[in-house]
Amino acid sequence: MKVDFKKYSDGLVPAVIQDAKTNKVLMLGFMNAEALIKTRELQKVTFFSRSKNRLWTKGEESGNYLFVKEIRSDCDNDTLLIKVEPAGPVCHTGADTCWDEKNESGNFLLQLEDIITERKNNSTQKSYTSSLFESGINKIAQKVGEEAIELVIEAKDDNAVLFKNEAADLLFHYLVLLQAKGYKLDDVIEVLKERHKK
C-alpha cells in the first residue's frame, strides 16, 4: 500500500475510521507518514493532531482505543480507510460516533449475538440467557432440539404467529448453543460461503 502524503501541502491525508463489525463510520482524523507507521506498530489508531501539533494515539487519555483490524488506501492513494474495534465511545462528547450515532449494526442478529455474549460473560440470576449458560452444554443442546421439534409441529399448521414465534425461539437457542461451543454466527456463515464456491 502506497500513500501519497505529498499530495497535500501539510503532508496529512484523511483517515476515515470505520467499525470493522458494524460498518459504521466512527470518526475522521488525519495522518502523516509517521502516524501511519506508529498505527501499524501499536495496532492502535494514531493520528497527527493539528491542534496539539504532535502524534496522538486515540484513547491515550480516555482508554477508548481504536484497535486496528484492517488498513486500506483509496484508488488515488490519498485517503485511508481504517477498520477498527473500538474500546468504548469514540467521540470526546461520549457519543459512539462523532456524528452522534449509535454504533449498532443494521443486522439485529449481530446485536442479539452481542447481548448473548454479554449475558454469558456477566452472569446474572435474573437473566434467562445466563441461566442457560449456567445449566451447561447438554441443557442448551436439549433446548435447541425441543425448539426444532416445536417449529416442525407448527410448520404443519397454518398459524403464522405461532410458526414465527417458534422459529424465533429456535434461532435464539441456536445462537446460544453456538456461543456455548465457542463460535459465532460468522463462523457458520464462512462455512456456507465456502460451500457456495463449490
Q: Give the residue from 1, 24, 26, 25 showing the smallest Cα distance to 78.
A: 1
pLDDT on residue 122: 85
pLDDT on residue 31: 97
Radius of gyration of the chain (CA): 22
Examine residue 36 and state whether it is found in any structural domain, yes or no: yes
Q: Are residues 122 and 178 in the same domain?
A: yes
Examine residue 96 and state whether it is found in any structural domain, yes or no: no
Burial of 159 per CB tally in 10 Å (0-12, 13-18, 19+): exposed
pTM confidence score: 0.66
Q: Which domain holds residue 143?
A: 108-197
- The residue behind cell 490519498 is 78
Examine residue 135 and state whether it is found in any structural domain, yes or no: yes
Examine residue 91 and state whether it is found in any structural domain, yes or no: no
pLDDT on residue 125: 63
Kindly report the CATH number assigned to the domain that includes residue 143: 1.10.287.1080
Examine residue 95 and state whether it is found in any structural domain, yes or no: no
Number of domains, the chain: 2
pLDDT in tens, the chain (198 residues): 789 998 988 999 999 999 998 899 999 999 999 999 999 999 999 999 999 999 999 999 999 999 999 999 999 999 999 999 999 999 999 999 999 998 887 688 888 998 999 999 887 668 899 999 999 999 999 999 999 999 999 999 999 999 999 999 999 999 999 999 999 998 999 999 999 887
